[in-house]
């Protein structure tokens, strides 16, 4: 009987350990695309999942996963996103300055907003911005609305952000001089 009690306690401890481990990143599927390949016997369908992960504290990444099943494509996309995480510069709950990110035919305008504005953005940009932990921003997709190009353009824009301290360090001046 004592052995059974110990095994129950061990199982409980294992379950508690899983529960205590915090979910480090929030994961979001931006787009799920079914693609087909025509072969001699008919069509073969596969799935492509564009995923975004972020910790809500300035770290965000995106990835693309492709597989024959939806769940496998999403898992691959999330794994790819976790491998490509970057840290972005924030200024409180918004971004330090206006910036335009470009990738392929996609162009995204990102503008800082006063506290209380919220996230004014479309689906693909909203996923990236919310995962990064930015809660006040205005955005506009220019030219392309392809989710893959829009997400990549948003990431290019966010990576190019610099605050006063970073600019001062590059120029070799103090923050007060700038």
With beta carbons less than 8 A apart as the criterion, state whether 51 and 148 touch: no
Residue 27 belongs to domain with CATH number: 3.30.160.20
Regarding whether 95 and 52 lie in a shared domain, the answer is no
Full domain range(s) for residue 109: 89-169
The answer as to whether 6 is a domain residue is no
Cα torsion 171, 172, 175, 178: sign? negative
pTM: 0.83
Regarding whether 28 and 42 lie in a shared domain, the answer is yes
pLDDT over threshold 70, residue 5: no
Q: Write down which residue in 46, 64, 83 finishes a domain.
A: 83
The answer as to whether 176 is a domain residue is no
Q: What angle do CA 33, 109, 66 make, to 5 degrees?
A: 20
Regarding whether 105 and 54 lie in a shared domain, the answer is no
The answer as to whether 14 is a domain residue is no
Regarding whether 165 and 94 lie in a shared domain, the answer is yes
- For residue 56, CA distances in Å to 24, 45, 176 come to 9, 35, 30
Regarding whether 159 and 99 lie in a shared domain, the answer is yes
pLDDT in tens, 32-71: 999 999 999 999 999 999 999 999 999 999 999 999 999 9
The answer as to whether 159 is a domain residue is yes
pLDDT given at position 77: 97
Pairing of strands 86-87, 99-103: unpaired
Regarding whether 161 and 94 lie in a shared domain, the answer is yes
Residue 132 belongs to domain with CATH number: 3.30.230.10
Number of domains in the chain: 2
The H or E element that residue 95 is part of is none
Q: What is the CA radius of gyration of the chain?
A: 21
pLDDT given at position 9: 54
pLDDT over threshold 50, residue 157: yes
Q: Which residues of 132-143 are buried (b: 16+ CB within 10 A; e: fewer)?
A: bbbbbbbbebee
């Amino acid at each position: 009987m004592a052995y059974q009690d110990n095994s129950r306690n061990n199982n409980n401890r294992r379950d508690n350990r899983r529960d205590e481990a915090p979910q480090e990143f929030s994961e979001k599927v931006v787009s799920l695309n079914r693609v087909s390949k025509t072969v001699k016997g008919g069509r073969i369908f596969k799935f492509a999942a564009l995923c975004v992960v972020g910790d809500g504290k300035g770290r965000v990444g995106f990835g693309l996963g492709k597989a024959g099943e939806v769940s496998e494509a999403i898992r691959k996309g999330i794994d790819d996103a976790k491998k490509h995480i970057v840290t972005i510069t924030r200024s409180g709950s918004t971004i330090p300055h206006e910036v335009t990110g470009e990738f392929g035919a996609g162009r995204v305008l990102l503008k800082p907003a006063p506290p209380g504005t919220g996230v004014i953005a479309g689906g693909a940009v909203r996923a990236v911005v919310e995962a990064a932990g930015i809660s006040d921003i205005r955005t506009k997709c220019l030219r392309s609305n392809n989710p893959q190009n829009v997400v990549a353009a948003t990431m290019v824009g966010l990576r190019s952000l610099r605050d006063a301290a970073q600019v001062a360090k590059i120029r070799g001046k103090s923050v007060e001089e700038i």
